Chain A
Amino acid sequence: LAKTTQPISMDSYEGQEVNITCSHNNIATNDYITWYQQFPSQGPRFIIQGYKTKVTNEVASLFIPADRKSSTLSLPRVSLSDTAVYYCLVGDGLTGGGNKLTFGTGTQLKVEL
């Protein structure tokens, strides 16, 4: 499983766009990039997943450059409720390990008024 590196923390204000970048230099050909969000004392929640280029859903966008060695989670117009830890994970989900996920340190996003 490829190792990921992301900033420990980020601060932002309500209404701003937040971009969290994750490095995964050893990503394999079959690996997908997945982001999860976790609030205190809750289980993580799936946000978005992608393989290359750009993926967008109702809550976020995921930008993946051609070399796939990094990815950027973009949260448009954040609010106080977006304060959480965001985890970047890389894996193919189809290995003999049965889709197990390895969580890194995550990025603590703090949104203020």
Chain B
Amino acid sequence: GAVVSQHPSRVICKSGTSVKIECRSLDFQATTMFWYRQFPKQSLMLMATSNEGSKATYEQGVEKDKFLINHASLTLSTLTVTSAHPEDSSFYICSARDITRGPNEQFFGPGTRLTVL
């Protein structure tokens, strides 16, 4: 149980285009999901907290108009990278918390590798 999926796993796009990444909790409901970004050889950096039915909460320094987050249901959150540029190339990972588990125990998706040409 407690599986989180992401789609797509890998995407290559041209500069200036928008890319949507989906995060799904497959066997549990997640009122809160999280989006992270990870550059090579670096740790995960939290970008935003996605709340079902309300606006996302962005971390300091993350542009909310560039990284659009929608959490329309208890099992789906989407991250849209708008007008992507090469510096947005990164590994994007989502996570979700199953409230039936212990605190700080989150389940992570497999990640999405974004390459902007």
Contacts and interface: CB of A to CB of B under 8 A. Distances in A.
A54 interface: no
B104 A99 contact: yes
Contacts of B95: 43-44, 101
B12 interface: no
Interface on chain B toward A: helix, strand, loop, or mixed SS?
strand
Interface of B: 4, 6, 32, 34, 36, 43-46, 49, 51, 57, 91, 93-95, 97, 102-111, 113
Interface string A31-45: 010100010011111
A103 B44 contact: yes
A97 B106 CA distance: 14
B110 A103 contact: no
A41 B95 CA distance: 15
Contacts of A111: none
Contacts of B45: 103
B108 A44 contact: yes
Interface string A80-107: 0000000101011110011111111110
A46 interface: yes
B103 A42 contact: no
Contacts, number: 72
A49 interface: yes
Interface residues of A, number: 26
5 contacts: A32-B104, A42-B110, A43-B109, A49-B102, A93-B103
A103 B106 contact: no
B51 A101 contact: no
B64 to A, nearest CB: 16
Contacts of A97: 49
A111 B32 CA distance: 36
